[in-house]
Structure 1
Amino acid sequence: MQTCTEVIFYRVPAFPSVKSLFREVRRLGLLSHWEVDDLIFDAAEYRQNGNLATLSDSEQRELLFGVGLFLDSLQSCGRGIASTRALGEAMRRAGIEDVHVIENALDRQTIALADALRIERSPDDVRESFLIVYGSGTRTHDADFRCCADGLVAAMEAEPRLSLQVIGELTLPDEFRRFGSRVQQLQGRDYPAYMALLARADLTIAPLEPTLFNDAKSNIKFLEAAVLDVPAVCSPRDAFTHVVRNGENGLLAEGTDAWRDAVLDLCRDPALRARLGRQAREDVLKRYRPEDVAREQVALCFPEPVADLPEERPLRVMSANIYFAPRSFGGATLIAEEMVRQLSGRGMDLAVFTSAPFLDGRHASSIRYEEDGAPVVATPLSIHIDRVAGLDNPRCSAQFSAWLDAFRPDVVHFHSVQGLGLGLTQLCLERRIPYVITLHDAWWLCERQFMVRQDGRYCFQRHIDLKVCAMCVPEARHLGLRADMMNASLKSATLLLTPSQSHRALYMENGIAADRIKVNRNGFAWPKTKRTPRKSGMPLRFGYVGGAEAVKGYPLIRKAFEALDQGDWELVLIDNKLNLGFSSIHADDWKVQGSVKVLPAYSQDTMDAFYEQIDVLLFPSQWMESYGLTVREALARDVWVISTSPGGQAEDIVDGVNGTLIPLDGRPESLRSAVEGVLAQKERFDDYNNPLKSGLPTFEGQAVELMTFLESVVRPKM
């Protein structure tokens, strides 16, 4: 249901599990239809069915109890699909205004089976024996059979060549015992075997007692016989009279004399048998082939969507990222979320594909919800992504495929897709959907994503050498295949984007042509209020937002601050994973002279409050970052930044003017020296303002530029 617009509940009772699906339908804003091919939702009419008398009291109570559950389902859906006119009218009497009649069709397999089984019937065929076949199926047709029983007995008495073969459960009236071996009762068969028996019949019968319940039944017994050229005698119930033209393509019979005469006429007139069989087949194939029913009936209920012309509708963009609100985690996720908001606000039609946690009772099903007006489909995915399995995720690809088919984007914008799998890009290629990749990090080049060795040190590769990589990840035997897969996805992208010039240079040094990769600088949330001036003489306040990973420099921070000889400072550590339900930073055992506290990640609404409580942001990343979002957030709020360089994180920092740049050398001494430097002049932060704020990027500017890139991919200028 997560990737559809309408849902059909076929013959479903309103059990609690089904009601939960109805609630989900309403939550998703889908249209729901309840479909059935029997009058099983009207208790008064159901009781008129004489076949109920053949069941035990407990079975009757169970069936009648089910009637209420079926009616509940029909009314919960509010739309009905009936297989017959009479059934549709019963739905309207039950209060359903939106009802469509879609008759049972002859499926392609049945038509093919009939073509192989049917016997050519000659108008000159004189038979020594004559076989009537009745398909009863279940034991709920005793009352129906009694409608024709006396007529059949009279016909078999008058014509010794007649024999009867009953397939399935049926309580035959005692009168049939006199015919001995001329009456056979066979056990039920699977459908091909049943059709094979029916094909050998000279005629078949479809008796139904005269009740509204039976008027609502479909004419499938006539269709099955007709497609085999077998003539049929039917009770004149509504669905049969809708297709059977008495004496032209079948016979209608009501009462003992009519049943006797119809059977004898067919037995004694081979030309009539052949003519009725041929005409019945011609009629039902003209009307009941699946394509005909689809065109004439289904299309009225489910009209084909009208394709919008490109100039008449906004660009339709699907954004894909490993995380998305409310599971916001990491800078790339923030950018992905903000670009969805920004592009939606500028008139584009946005949808999102992302991951979801495994939830009890949901198993492997996707979850669809809305975030800022954009539909999001999230597929269950473990937080801990296996490096090899994360390259290709068939189950994830299957759900992405369904979402592509449902949303039909003009272009797909991939952000960070590790764990979601490269199969997503292949699906775009198969559908000829152009895709754009924003290269937020080095995952497309590096098995370890941030080009950091196992010891936490930056590897300093520029042109990637897989022999060097194999030394870093000795257990990995797939690096060559991984590189081929990554290169294929990158080369098939219509456009590649990076958030900084330094990151663009890295990918260019690894074979990406300059004209295929552009810079789209990340914006950020600018302050909503003016910063409160720092009180003179208070301890200098430091902040760190990178998490416990060595690549972000967390171990260097601990070592540097434990080595400080002074204690006139405070340090706030942000643990992003607290919002995911567990902690990754534990500062209780730090041996420091200052104050250290751990807080959960801030939101867009609480960001200003976080930066209000720090004077210096620590950004000792141990790789050449693609951008450094928190660096820009801090610079815009007049917070000094201590950052490693080179890399995208340092491109808006001028050493000594709005921050302190330290070498990317993995040494805590470098960070300690920078911290001591600002502690030595902490009074400068009492009234500090960043003089270079005007050159910082904005979300608005990034979105406008991104729109231009996406438009150029879908609608290139001639």
Structure 2
Amino acid sequence: MFADLPRPTGPLPVLWDSTVTQRVGRMLDGEVRVAWFYGQPDTSTFRYRVANVVEAVNSDPDGVVGAGWFSDDDIPSVLPVVPQLDAIVLARHRYGGNVRRLAATAARAGVPLLFDTDDLVFDTAYAGLVMDSLGRDATVSLDWDVWFSYMGRLNATLGLCEGAFTTNQTLRAELGRHLPLDSVHVVPNVLNRVQQDYSRSLLEAKQSSGYRRSGPVTIGYFSGTPSHVRDFTVAAPALARLLDRDPDVAVRIAGFLDDVGPLEEFRDRIEFVPFMHYVELQHSIAEVEVNIAPLQHNAFNVCKSDLKFFEAAVVGTWTVASHTPSLDAAVTDGVTGRLARDHEWDGALAEAVDLARDTDRYAATMTAAAEHAHRTWAWDSVAASVRRALDAQLAKGSPTSPVASS
């Protein structure tokens, strides 16, 4: 494990500490004005699909877009300025009374609505698959009510929209079953400024120490949300076999996983850490030598983005991940990380442990991989994707859209 890495200083950032008035004012400063709406702010989808995007757009020195984010509760306060907007983005925002009012106001003003999603959760045809992926009991009627309600309301919101933003080409194709494909645009997940700056300091600390480590090689599983609990079973048998044959390997599990299955007999070598602030999470990832991102292979998971890889890469930590289209595109196999099919986890984990113990090779590998990640998923890079998407979408109704292309 890598030790003595810098801890966050000062209060941890809060993504929703501004007022509605402040956010409206910043948005209306733009030549092109776009409002992002999300049910209630949180540290998952809201962070990546709304807060990070708005921050990058508003900091773009080459852009003309003024952006603001708002919750469902903010909608009544924002309705008066809707006629001044050029577009509205509804990010995983469930249909309801406020959305209906917002859509009606936007329709009267000729303001287009755009949907945004980072998961395959907008089509009830996939409800059973989603429940299976999340390990829900299919005999519990209430679970069916919950997921059909959630996905059905998202589908109702999608039905109001004439375009969409999403994280990758796989989800783009799924959205293309509901919208014209040329109206669906990829706006990738990226870091935010604080997350990237702190990750840089962690990386530099590891570099300045020559990637000095001590103790057992630690493999980290950072589940993030309960939705990944079943995914752990993809790697768990291989991980148990590794622990059985190599006493100098340990495991760190962060998030919502307590049932470790075949690893139970090695529980004394597992460190459980609670769900934590996303900045503190970067520190926890930076301390381990190996990060794993196993996923079941199904239609729900193949739509997942690449964030579990780049969150680790930017702090100089090697990742072993399952194959998905996004991860296949993000990871140069064997160079910036390792991609493993279900039957390849034994070999991939053994290779990762060997790499971690070869300090010089690990340092050279991860320094190059981290620099690539800092460039590719830079906090401000998403602004260009948003400008291109808005330019393409608004041009459908306004050929003279002032959004800058790049």
TM-score, normalised to structure 1, is: 0.40
Per the alignment, residue 199 of structure 2 pairs with 114
| Residue in structure 2 matching 1:202, options 283, 289, 292 | 289
| Residue in structure 2 matching 1:293, options 365, 382, 387 | 382
Per the alignment, residue 252 of structure 1 pairs with 339
| Residue in structure 1 matching 2:371, options 282, 287, 309 | 282
The verdict on how the C-alpha distance between 1:96 and 1:73 changes in structure 2, with shifts beyond 3 A counting, is farther
Pairing 1:79–2:166 present: no
| Residue in structure 2 matching 1:182, options 269, 281, 286 | 269
| Residue in structure 2 matching 1:262, options 333, 341, 348 | 348
1:219-240 CA distances to partner (integer Å, 9 max, x unpaired)?
Answer: 1111110110111111111110
Distance in 2 (alpha carbons) for counterparts of 1:276 and 1:44: 43
Pairing 1:3–2:87 present: no
Per the alignment, residue 63 of structure 1 pairs with 147
SS of the residue corresponding to residue 102 of structure 2 reads helix
Per the alignment, residue 94 of structure 1 pairs with 178
Superposed counterparts of 1:622-701, under 5 Å: none
SS of the residue corresponding to residue 95 of structure 1 reads coil
Conserved? CA contact 1:54–1:142, under 8 Å: no
Conserved? CA contact 2:120–2:300, under 8 Å: yes
Superposed counterparts of 1:525-604, under 5 Å: none
Pairing 1:303–2:391 present: yes
1:11-36 CA distances to partner (integer Å, 9 max, x unpaired)?
Answer: 11111221111111111101211111
| Residue in structure 1 matching 2:245, options 135, 152, 158 | 158
Give the letter aligned to residue 95 of structure 2: A
Distance in 2 (alpha carbons) for counterparts of 1:110 and 1:237: 25
SS of the residue corresponding to residue 140 of structure 1 reads helix
Superposed counterparts of 1:208-227, under 5 Å: 208-227=295-314
Pairing 1:12–2:12 present: no
Conserved? CA contact 1:250–1:276, under 8 Å: no
The verdict on how the C-alpha distance between 1:236 and 1:31 changes in structure 2, with shifts beyond 3 A counting, is same
Give the letter aligned to residue 179 of structure 1: F
The verdict on how the C-alpha distance between 1:18 and 1:187 changes in structure 2, with shifts beyond 3 A counting, is same
| Residue in structure 1 matching 2:225, options 131, 134, 138 | 138
Distance in 1 (alpha carbons) for counterparts of 2:361 and 2:383: 32
Distance in 1 (alpha carbons) for counterparts of 2:361 and 2:242: 17
Conserved? CA contact 2:239–2:263, under 8 Å: no
Pairing 1:242–2:329 present: yes
Give the letter aligned to residue 302 of structure 1: L
Conserved? CA contact 1:39–1:213, under 8 Å: yes
| Residue in structure 1 matching 2:257, options 170, 195, 204 | 170
Distance in 2 (alpha carbons) for counterparts of 1:70 and 1:280: 37
Displacement after TM superposition at 1:132 (Å): 1.2
The verdict on how the C-alpha distance between 1:205 and 1:60 changes in structure 2, with shifts beyond 3 A counting, is farther
Give the letter aligned to residue 191 of structure 1: Y
Distance in 1 (alpha carbons) for counterparts of 2:219 and 2:206: 17
SS of the residue corresponding to residue 204 of structure 1 reads strand
Conserved? CA contact 1:203–1:231, under 8 Å: yes
Superposed counterparts of 1:395-544, under 5 Å: none
Displacement after TM superposition at 1:161 (Å): 1.2
Displacement after TM superposition at 1:125 (Å): 5.5
Distance in 2 (alpha carbons) for counterparts of 1:126 and 1:188: 25
SS of the residue corresponding to residue 302 of structure 1 reads helix
The verdict on how the C-alpha distance between 1:136 and 1:282 changes in structure 2, with shifts beyond 3 A counting, is same
Give the letter aligned to residue 143 of structure 2: E
Displacement after TM superposition at 1:283 (Å): 1.8
Give the letter aligned to residue 39 of structure 1: L
SS of the residue corresponding to residue 172 of structure 1 reads coil
Displacement after TM superposition at 1:94 (Å): 2.2
Distance in 1 (alpha carbons) for counterparts of 2:337 and 2:220: 15
The verdict on how the C-alpha distance between 1:187 and 1:125 changes in structure 2, with shifts beyond 3 A counting, is closer
Per the alignment, residue 52 of structure 1 pairs with 134
Conserved? CA contact 1:104–1:220, under 8 Å: yes
Conserved? CA contact 2:191–2:378, under 8 Å: yes
Structure 1 vs Structure 2 CA RMSD: 2.5
Distance in 1 (alpha carbons) for counterparts of 2:369 and 2:259: 29
TM-score, normalised to structure 2, is: 0.70
SS of the residue corresponding to residue 134 of structure 1 reads strand
Conserved? CA contact 1:13–1:70, under 8 Å: yes
Distance in 2 (alpha carbons) for counterparts of 1:178 and 1:111: 37
Give the letter aligned to residue 197 of structure 2: A
Displacement after TM superposition at 1:57 (Å): 4.3
SS of the residue corresponding to residue 330 of structure 2 reads coil
Distance in 2 (alpha carbons) for counterparts of 1:273 and 1:233: 14
- Residue ranges of structure 2 left out of the alignment (5+ in a row): 1-81, 393-399
Give the letter aligned to residue 27 of structure 1: R
The verdict on how the C-alpha distance between 1:272 and 1:216 changes in structure 2, with shifts beyond 3 A counting, is farther
Conserved? CA contact 2:134–2:228, under 8 Å: no
Distance in 2 (alpha carbons) for counterparts of 1:279 and 1:223: 13
Give the letter aligned to residue 70 of structure 1: L
Conserved? CA contact 1:123–1:272, under 8 Å: no
SS of the residue corresponding to residue 383 of structure 2 reads helix
Displacement after TM superposition at 1:272 (Å): 4.6
Displacement after TM superposition at 1:123 (Å): 7.5
Distance in 1 (alpha carbons) for counterparts of 2:285 and 2:321: 15
Give the letter aligned to residue 170 of structure 2: A
SS of the residue corresponding to residue 137 of structure 1 reads coil
Conserved? CA contact 2:127–2:147, under 8 Å: no
Displacement after TM superposition at 1:147 (Å): 1.0
The verdict on how the C-alpha distance between 1:286 and 1:212 changes in structure 2, with shifts beyond 3 A counting, is same
SS of the residue corresponding to residue 54 of structure 1 reads coil
Give the letter aligned to residue 264 of structure 1: A
Distance in 2 (alpha carbons) for counterparts of 1:7 and 1:199: 37
Q: Which protein shows a greater Rg? A: 1
The verdict on how the C-alpha distance between 1:9 and 1:80 changes in structure 2, with shifts beyond 3 A counting, is same
Matched positions, count: 306
The verdict on how the C-alpha distance between 1:255 and 1:105 changes in structure 2, with shifts beyond 3 A counting, is same
Give the letter aligned to residue 8 of structure 1: V
Displacement after TM superposition at 1:207 (Å): 1.0
Give the letter aligned to residue 283 of structure 1: H
Conserved? CA contact 1:39–1:87, under 8 Å: yes
The verdict on how the C-alpha distance between 1:111 and 1:250 changes in structure 2, with shifts beyond 3 A counting, is same
Per the alignment, residue 449 of structure 1 pairs with none
Conserved? CA contact 1:86–1:215, under 8 Å: yes
Conserved? CA contact 2:163–2:184, under 8 Å: yes
Per the alignment, residue 32 of structure 1 pairs with 113
Higher relative contact order (CA 8 A, sep 6+): 2
